[in-house]
Amino acid sequence: MKQATVASGLAGLLLSGMVLAEPVAMVTDISDGVYTVAKDKSDKVLLLSYFEPGTILRLDKNAHLTVTFLTKSVEYRFAGPARLTVEKDRIVANEGKVDTKPVSLSKTAAVNKFTVAQRESVTQAAFEMRAAGRPGLRLEDPVDSRVIGNSLVFNWDGPHSIEGYHLNLFDDQRKLVYKVSVDTNSWTPPVGLLKAGNTYEWEIEAVPNKGELLTARAQFSLADSNLVQDVQAQSPSADASFSERVLYAVYLEGNGFKYDARRLWKQLISERPDDMVVREHAMR
pLDDT score recorded for residue 108: 61
Domain boundary pick from 222, 241, 268: 222
Question: In terms of DSSP bridges, do strands 50-51 and 91-95 run parallel, antiparallel, or are they unpaired?
Answer: unpaired
- 256 falls within a domain: no
203 contacts 167 by C-beta, under 8 angstroms: yes
DSSP-derived secondary structure letter, 78: E
Q: Same domain, yes or no, for 98 and 142?
A: no
Q: What is the pLDDT of residues 175-216, one digit of tens each?
A: 999 999 998 999 999 999 999 999 999 999 987 766 678 899
CA-CA-CA-CA torsion sign (47, 53, 59, 63): positive
Range of the domain at 197: 138-222
Q: What is the pLDDT of residues 119-161, one digit of tens each?
A: 555 544 444 434 444 457 889 999 999 999 768 999 998 876 5
Of 7, 3, 2, 1, residue with least CA distance to 276 = 7
Distances (CA, A) of 197 to 223, 249, 256: 5, 21, 14
Of 217, 207, 225, residue with least CA distance to 154 = 217
Of 16-20, 65-69, 262-266, the poorest mean pLDDT is in 16-20
Q: How many domains does the chain have?
A: 2
Q: Same domain, yes or no, for 100 and 148?
A: no
- Gap between the Cα atoms of 127 and 119, Å rounded: 14
DSSP-derived secondary structure letter, 248: H
Q: Same domain, yes or no, for 75 and 31?
A: yes
Q: Is the pLDDT of residue 16 over 80?
A: no
- 199 falls within a domain: yes
CATH number of the domain encompassing residue 153: 2.60.40.10
Q: Is the pLDDT of residue 223 over 60?
A: yes
- 51 falls within a domain: yes
Domain boundary pick from 222, 257, 274: 222
- 81 falls within a domain: yes
Of 84, 102, 81, residue with least CA distance to 33 = 81
- 6 falls within a domain: yes
Angle subtended by helix axes 242-254 and 116-124, to nearest 10: 110
- Gap between the Cα atoms of 202 and 49, Å rounded: 35
Q: How many CA atoms lie within 13 A of 64 on its CB side?
A: 8
pLDDT score recorded for residue 15: 43
pLDDT score recorded for residue 278: 92
Q: Same domain, yes or no, for 149 and 91?
A: no
Q: What is the pLDDT of residues 91-120, one digit of tens each?
A: 998 887 778 877 765 556 556 555 444 455
Domain boundary pick from 61, 86, 104: 104
Q: How confident is the model at residue 21 (pLDDT cuts 50, 70, 90)?
A: low
